[in-house]
Chains A and B, each alone.
Chain A
Amino acid sequence: MKIMNCPLNGPRNISEFVWGGEVRTMPDPNGCTTEEWADYVFLENNTAGIVREWWCHVPTSFWFIAERNTVTDEIIRTYPAGEVFKTRVDFAPRPKTQEGTR
């Protein structure tokens, strides 16, 4: 079986992992257009080559980042998300008039 190296748990069978999509910068959900949000949520670049993706080790629910070559399906590197996301991201609060419509 293919083996993936989890930054928390070490090498594990690939069946213990699920893919979580490309690592992208999240647009401000209150400030972006519907098209930008739909693009962020639903659309993938589908790059042929080295991509940076979210992966989850399911038994621990540990999300991390993997660099993978989509042409050869070779996993180049895995590392904790903290290497990329070092600070908390705060978006502007929703306007008060829309509070009840969530």
Chain B
Amino acid sequence: MAAVNALQPTDRLRRSFVYRILQANGAVFEEINGGAVAMRFGASTESEVAKARRLGLADLSPLPRTGFKGVGTVDWLTAQGLTIGPDSNRAYRQSGGELAARLAPTEVLLLDSLSGDGALIERLNGAWGWSTETPRKPIGYPMPRADSHCWFAVTGEQAPAMFAKICGVDLRPNKFPEGAIAQTSVARINGIVIRQATALPSYYLLADSASAEYLWHGVMDAMLEFDGGPVGLAAVRELSSGV
């Protein structure tokens, strides 16, 4: 059980779509950028990292993310200092650890680094605006993703085997390289799967926020036979730091 004075998600305006499930699982929350993030689930950090190495599901939903879309989007983001390659369905790592996931030739999803400070996203939101020149220069438009999509991380050696039960795309490391993106059906709902650049297979999973609790339960159910379970952001950070 969490300590009496511990931070609860309801203490903050920004909270996860699955915070009730996280609370029921004994999550310990910490504040990041105004939101309560599940950092650990009571166990020692070592045992939670060990679980994350086998098979873990973490909720990153309170962390900052956004998107930009439309003709001129990639040119504008490049002018803002981002590095975005030519291929769609690839995630490009930025200097601050953020991921620019190119979902289509004219659409980019931006995920903050695991520190969650949101600096790059804040800067881009501040910089974006229609110019006054006519005809208007196409620079795309913002596509906020913080409320539309939940953001989970699925980590560990057994993750590809678990995904094989709920997703038609082959996510094994030899077929699905680091930075690869699959926009596909996951547990029968539409999801975005992004392979993180980590030594162990580790994936970000984003899906409709209204289905977040369903997806959490669905993935957790698929994880049971591999002895997987919920892990906190601390364990995900630990795995990612070994890049």
Interchain CB contact under 8 A, B168 and A59: no
Contact A60 B185 (CB under 8 A): no
| Size category of the binding interface on chain B | 10 to 19
**Residue A37 interfacial (CB < 8 Å):** no
Known contacts A59-B184, A60-B183: A12-B103 contact under CB 8 Å: no
List, in ascending order, chain A residues with CB within 8 A of B103's CB.
Answer: 60
In the complex the two chains form, is A8's CB within 8 Å of B184's CB? no
B25 interface residue (CB < 8 Å to A): no
Within 8 A of A (CB), among B84-124: 88-89, 103-104
Q: Which of B185, B191, B192 is in CB contact (< 8 Å) with A13?
A: B185
CB neighbours (8 Å) of A12 from chain B are: 168-169, 184
A1: nearest residue on chain B (CB-CB)? B168
Q: Contact at A9–B190, with CB atoms within 8 Å?
A: no
Taking beta carbons and an 8 Å cutoff, which residues of A are in contact with B? 1, 8-10, 12-13, 15-16, 57-60, 62
- What are the 3 tightest A-B residue pairs by CB atom distance, in nearest-first order? A59-B190, A13-B168, A60-B183
A sample of 9 inter-chain contacts (CB < 8 A) reads: A1-B168, A8-B104, A9-B89, A9-B183, A13-B168, A59-B191, A59-B192, A60-B104, A62-B104
**Besides A9-B182, A13-B185, 11 new A-B residue pairs in contact (Cβ under 8 A), listed by A number:** A9-B183, A12-B168, A12-B184, A15-B185, A16-B168, A16-B184, A59-B183, A59-B184, A59-B192, A60-B104, A60-B183
